[in-house]
Chain A
Amino acid sequence: MELFNNLALGFGVAFTLQNLMYAFIGCLLGTVIGVLPGIGPLATIAMLLPATYALPPVAALIMLAGIYYGAQYGGSTTAVLVNLPGESSSVVTVIDGYQMARNGRAGPALAAAGLGSFFAGCVGTLILAAFAAPLTELAFKFGPAEYFSLMILGLIGAVVLASGSLLKAIAMIVLGLLLGMVGTDVNSGVARFSLDIPELTDGIGFIVIAMGVFGYGEIISNLGKHESERQVFTANVTGLMPTKEDFRRMIPAVLRGTALGSLLGILPGGGAVMAAFAAYTLEKKTKLEPGEVPFGKGNIRGVAAPEAANNAGAQTSFIPLLTLGIPPNAVMALMVGAMTIHNIQPGPQVMTSNPELFWGLIASMWIGNLMLIILNLPLIGIWIKLLSVPYRWLFPSIVLFCAIGVYSTNNNTFDIWMVAIFGVIGYLFIKLGAEPAPLLLGFILGPMMEEYLRRALLLSRGDWSVFVTRPLSASLLAGAVLLLVIVLMPSVKSKREEAFVDD
């Protein structure tokens, strides 16, 4: 019954006019950036972080969360209508969604994506509410050794599930951890790697890295492509309602997608992108019914399952953040930043010390999902218009919002010079085929990891075996090793590569 009391408290918080408004703004923005290719939730949340200083913490987090799961809805619209993923989590939706649109079935494809997302979002929120309390209990048993091992597991999880070369992804994490070392060391007061620049003694701002690498780097790379590669062809949408036959096929797919997405969201390293890939792969493995359209030719299951999965994953990836204070992916890493700005230390104590924030955020997610289904289905016409905005108007605006966002974080032009440097670095990463998301995750976790490693070894008097003699820590590390072994098995390895290059 405690759950109901908690949820009642949450809905009380979420149903104030102000919080409803911020949830709406977040969902709206999320949909907009989801629809627009070339700008993702990561860059948007980074841009808006400074603007949330002035807001109360609950409102700020409600809005930022809305952007993340809102983008999962918006991304599918672009995928279906334009044959471009509006979001990286919609990459697989493109495959069957666009084919459906070409066969004149854009409406049912959009409806399948929207309804699937809504169902998954509701389930994800419920799971978040139900599992948060028991996981928090567990979190209080964690000592420094457990936290360190958990972060190892999280970082390994992040690379295992990422696309592309495993070694390069691990190297990017280590690079991120190292960048996190820049600045004053809390224990000794030594300014590390600051190159005698006073601004660097505070460390590199994560907003600077996020905007430079994900904002500018992406824009430069997009502009470098040939115009034909980002040409926009919009399909017509007539009739949203899927047929009875469609419903019969998509319901089991949505259920599978939701289950898989919720599970992968909780796992460290998981989140929306991986959930969508896994769900699509799973659907492809199931047998086609007689008379069913094959995958890649416009099968509705190929739209419903990944869209349900990415939304479920987006919701449940808040679980490790809210209960353990460990961000499972780069967007959640930014949420850590948002909480720190408002003087909230992410971790198990949030639920007891800020219950209205904790439950308010959860309740707002359900309300947000309701807003999103309304925003995305009946109002689909607006988003189709938005898609016709040419990129040559869009990219100067994005550059401007990045620059304004960066400056307003500290009211300091030094950050603007830094973001220029990271813009160049970000473009270099893209050219070298080095995925930048693990870098940001490493950057956020770097200082935490060092701190927990120090404490754990201080308590054990320098004995490294503490990580394997404490059962919880040992099982977390075993999990990390297991993940690596699974991915490196030849049969899985080829499948994994196949899943990512599939088209």
Chain B
Amino acid sequence: MNIKSQKDFFSGLMFMTVGVAFAWGASGYTIGNGARMGPGYFPLALGVLLTFLGGVITFKALVVETVDGHKIGAFAWKPLVFIILANLVFGAMIGGLPSIHLPPMGLIVGIYALTFIASLAGDRFNLKETVALATILAVLSYLAFIKLLNLQFPVWPVLAGV
């Protein structure tokens, strides 16, 4: 059997997987009955509903003809990896990673790291431009978030007690 709509076929599978996972999880809690609902009642019902909807979507994707096959197309791996990595590194810079003895490096270092890594996601990478952008963002963020809004951030590296 041919897949008539690739997007729908895989989103249907996704809905079914998540639906089954939630329904299975919910069945571990007290279900109760209509008048006295346990914590599992509503999630179980929703999980079953989602699984059903996912099934219908998948079925339709196999049966109903489409013009262009609704291809999913290539994944943009480069932006996906760099944007998410930039975010993760920023988190590590702010909070530190105790598991590898990385101390918190603070907001400023974090901004430079994030801007640098995120810029790699674009089509062209220009080192000078990126440094300039990171500097502007660092100064603006310091003024806006730390000075003006008083948000609680570690700003500079905490090197003591490593």
Chain A residues engaging chain B, CB cutoff 8 angstroms:
50-51, 54, 165, 167-168, 170-171, 174-175, 177-178, 181, 185, 187-188, 190, 192-193, 216, 219-221, 223-224, 227, 391-393, 395-397, 399-400, 402-404, 407-408, 411-413, 416-417, 419-420, 423-424, 427-428, 431-434, 449-450, 453-454, 457-458, 460-464
5 contacts between A and B (CB under 8 A): A50-B151, A174-B46, A393-B129, A404-B145, A462-B36
Contacts of B129 in A (CB 8 A): 392-393
Given contacts A188-B38, A393-B133, contact A219 B79 (CB under 8 A): yes
B74-96 contacts to A (CB < 8 Å): 75-76, 78-80, 83-84, 86-88, 90-92, 94-95
Q: Is the CB of B94 within 8 A of A431?
A: no
A145 → B minimal CB distance (Å): 13
Q: Is the CB of B79 within 8 A of A223?
A: yes
Contacts of A54 in B (CB 8 A): 149-150
Contacts of B50 in A (CB 8 A): 171, 174-175, 178
Contacts of A412 in B (CB 8 A): 95
CA separation between A72 and B91, bound complex, in Å? 33
B129 → A minimal CB distance (Å): 8
Q: Is the CB of B153 within 8 A of A190?
A: no
Partner of B145, one of A174, A190, A408, A427: A408
Q: Is the CB of B34 within 8 A of A462?
A: yes
B55 → A minimal CB distance (Å): 10
A-B complex: 3 closest residue pairs judged by Cβ atoms: A224-B76, A462-B35, A413-B95
Let me know if B147 is at the binding interface, CB within 8 A. Answer: no
Chain B residues engaging chain A, CB cutoff 8 angstroms:
7-8, 10-11, 14-15, 18-19, 22, 25-26, 29-30, 33-39, 42-43, 46-47, 49-50, 53-54, 56-57, 60, 70, 72-73, 75-76, 78-80, 83-84, 86-88, 90-92, 94-95, 107, 111, 114-115, 118-119, 121-124, 129-130, 133-134, 137, 141, 145, 149-153
Q: Is the CB of A399 within 8 A of B75?
A: no
Q: Is the CB of B29 within 8 A of A221?
A: no
Q: Is the CB of B114 within 8 A of A427?
A: no
Contacts of B133 in A (CB 8 A): 393, 396-397
CA separation between A428 and B54, bound complex, in Å? 16
Contacts of A458 in B (CB 8 A): 35-36
